[in-house]
Amino acid sequence: MNRKDFLKWFGLGGVGLLGTASIPALIARLRGAPVDQSGPLCFGPAPTDPTAATGSGFALGDDGMGNGTGLLRRTGNAYGSMVHPPSGLHRNYLSSFERPLKEEHGEWLFAGTSNDGASAKLEDRYLPPFSRAKSGVRDIEVRTINRPVNVAHGTSFNAWTFNGRVPGPVIRATAGETLRIRLRNLTNEPHSVHFHGSHDPNQDGWESIPGGTDTLYTIKAGPVGVHPYHCHVPPLALHMAKGLFGTMIVDPPGGRPPAHEVVLILSGYDLQNRGRNDIYSWNGLAGFYDRFPIRVNVGELVRVYLVNMLEYEPVASFHLHAQTFDVFRSGTKLQPDDHTDVITLGQTERAILEFRLPYKGRYMFHPHQIHMAERGAMGWFVAV
């Protein structure tokens, strides 16, 4: 920052907005000294990527986390999220939440695979497709594992996970199929798996399963739609906020029209154990879809399975810029309930959205609770 920029910033009242925790960093920046860039709200330029829609900026706050009236942001590009994703990720890292109409070619890196993705089967790379189990029965294993997960730039969270990731795996079935879900609790805490939807109450998953044990749930997949699942052991808010949640898609027997499908699960992270979210994410990584936009073809049908799994927030919304969408509330009907550009969801509410992007360009999406967007839950669809 040169003298002219500083005086201009000072004239806007910038110093008066700074919290005391931020003053040393500002002085260091003015002197040209290195600045600590750890944490989700970083100062320096983030790694560039040719597929990225934006670059980076910096943020300051009263508490060093971007909270309070001391919040500032400056970006060196058209727009940017204050909270950046973990460094070193490939744009296809979250491919298990997306299924293009056609497989992409070229360089691929997938979570849990070799560097070239060669060890990953096609069905493991993407969101599972519509299919019918030949026997009418699907066997699924869900494991509870405690582990640290990288959730933002320089930020690790001690999570309770299903199968080692937050959110847990997307489960997909066809209505009427029998699901046999084996829960293996590999932790010392009691846990469970509760599925939303319609099933035998004796298989509801609210009972605690002690650490080091396992159990089997048998349910019928239904009704048609998108349904969350999560741990239901008290204190429920803690178990969900720590990461024990996921999504199940139940397809109609004939499937839905072919589309570019994307699961978007909104959640937050309480980094300071105070019952309040500090950063927000789609599919577990803050700022990921700001850095790595969801790429779709112009004019193709896009289907979003949208799920609100925030704890500590009574309501959240989803807004798509420059386009409107059909809304299928919970996805339980095959005809849309509404057509709009913003939808509001309470905790664990969900919807299926369908739209087409008619022009090449970037289409921003985010919650219209702006603090969520600014702290990691802003992203882009890019029509090519």
Closest by alpha carbon to 341, among 362, 361, 365?
Answer: 365
Looking from the CA of 253 toward its CB, the CA atoms found within 13 Å total: 3
Query: Cα dihedral sign for 346, 292, 91, 40?
Result: negative
Query: Cα dihedral sign for 270, 276, 281, 283?
Result: positive
Alpha carbon of residue 43 to chain centroid:
23
Longest dimension (CA), the chain: 72
Q: Three-state SS for 27?
A: helix
Instruction: Find out whether 84 is annotated in a ligand binding site.
Output: no
Instruction: Find out whether 42 is annotated in a ligand binding site.
Output: no
Instruction: Find out whether 319 is annotated in a ligand binding site.
Output: no
Where residue 3 falls (left for φ over 0; alpha for ψ -120 to 50; beta otherwise) is alpha
- What is the number of residues in the chain? 384
Amino acid letter for position 234: P
Prior bond of 235 cis (ω within 30°): yes
Instruction: Find out whether 227 is annotated in a ligand binding site.
Output: no
Pair type for strands 338-340 and 301-308: unpaired
Residue 181 main-chain phi, psi, to 5 deg = -105, 115
Q: Three-state SS for 174?
A: strand
Closest by alpha carbon to 311, among 265, 270, 365?
Answer: 270
Closest by alpha carbon to 16, among 50, 52, 62?
Answer: 62
- Distance from C-alpha of 189 to C-alpha of 194, rounded to nearest angstrom: 16
Provide the annotated binding site.
191, 196, 230-231, 239, 368
Provide the annotated binding site for Cu cation.
191, 196, 230-231, 239, 368
